[in-house]
Amino acid sequence: MNIIGIEKSSFIDYPNNICTVLFTGGCNFRCPYCHNSSIVNNTGDRIDEDKIIVFLKKRKKFIDSLCISGGEPTLQKDLYDFICRVKEEDFIIKLDTNGTNPTLLRNLIDKKLIDYVAMDIKAPLAKYPSIVESVVDLKDIQESINILLKNKVEYEFRTTICKELLSIEDIKTIAKELKGCKTYVLQNFRDGETVLAGENKFTSYKAEELKEIEEAISTLLNRVIIR
């Protein structure tokens, strides 16, 4: 596993759990608002997988969950085997993914190797290529959505929003495409020097606009959370 970042304790990355977060290097998307540019560009020292297992074993009394984030973790050829190793230590596992590897996602869910999935929804399906600035197979994205909608694992869909890339109408279209989903999270864009396209390029939504969006889509979705 190409793990190039670790947050030893996080209170926000796994709902209702304190978790350790691992960041895998590299991504097959180039979302311009991404705030993990160094992880996406795969720069940073690799952390030895065995050392992570030892670390997790030591922390068992305090932490019982692991979040595997990125970059895009499903690009890692040995992700499945690594998750098996962590599961042997009785950790619950959350996977963050952009949904481009439905085969691996299904396999991990069917084998009960992951307990929570947070899947990014980048845009209405038709707008994906322009937002992620990469070649994307929309069938894969739709398949990953369908897998999670079957409710075999706890999950959330989540969208990072900024005014320049997604309009309120776009967000309503996403909500229609996710109709029936359990939990949908809107993450307001946060600027900073680690943003992939550079600082001061994008604008966050105002609190009152977020409220308006929440009201507009909450008739379509069970639970809308704003972060």
Looking at the Cβ atoms of 53 and 197, the one nearer to ligand SF4 is 197
205/170 Cα distance (integer angstroms): 14
Q: How far is the CB of 39 from ligand SF4 (least distance, A)?
A: 7
Residue nearest to ligand SF4 (CB): 34
Q: Residue 82 forms beta bridges with which residues?
A: none
Q: Is residue 40 a contact point for ligand SF4 (CB under 6 A)?
A: yes
Query: Exactly one of 70, 73, 99, 102 binds ligand SF4 (CB under 6 A); which one?
Result: 70
Of 21, 31, 68, 136, which one interacts with ligand SF4 (CB under 6 A)?
31
- Site size for ligand SF4 (CB under 6 A): 12
> Which alpha helices (DSSP H) does the chain contain, by range?
37-40, 49-58, 79-88, 102-110, 128-132, 138-149, 168-177, 207-217
- Of 4 and 63, which has the nearer Cβ to ligand SF4? 4
Q: Tell me: does residue 3 bind ligand SF4 (CB under 6 A).
A: no
Dist. CA 89–CA 38, nearest whole Å: 30
Rounded to an integer, what distance in angstroms lies between the CA atom of residue 223 and that of residue 227?
13
Q: Does 98 bind ligand SF4 (CB under 6 A)?
A: yes
Upstream peptide bond of 192 is cis (omega within 30 degrees of 0): no
101 lies in the site for ligand SF4, by CB under 6 A: no
Phi, psi torsion values for 87, nearest 5 degrees? -65, -35
Residue 22 interacts with ligand SF4 (CB under 6 A): yes or no: no
CB nearer to ligand SF4: pick between 64 and 143: 143
CA–CA separation, 71 vs 44, rounded Å?
A: 12
Q: Tell which one of 27, 109, 119, 166 touches ligand SF4 (CB under 6 A).
A: 27
Query: CA-to-CA distance for 112 and 180, rounded, in angstroms?
Result: 23
- Least distance to ligand SF4 from the beta carbon of 64, Å? 26
Span interacting with ligand SF4, options 69-77, 103-111, 140-148, 173-181, rule CB under 6 A: 69-77
The two three-digit tokens of residue 118, written as one number: 């947070």
**Which positions ≥6 away from 47 have C-beta within 8 Å?**
3, 4, 5, 6, 22
Between 65 and 97, whose beta carbon lies closer to ligand SF4? 97
Task: Single out the residue of 14, 23, 29, 189 in contact with ligand SF4 (rule: CB under 6 A).
Answer: 29
Contact footprint for ligand SF4 (CB under 6 A): 27, 29-31, 34, 36, 40, 70-72, 98, 120
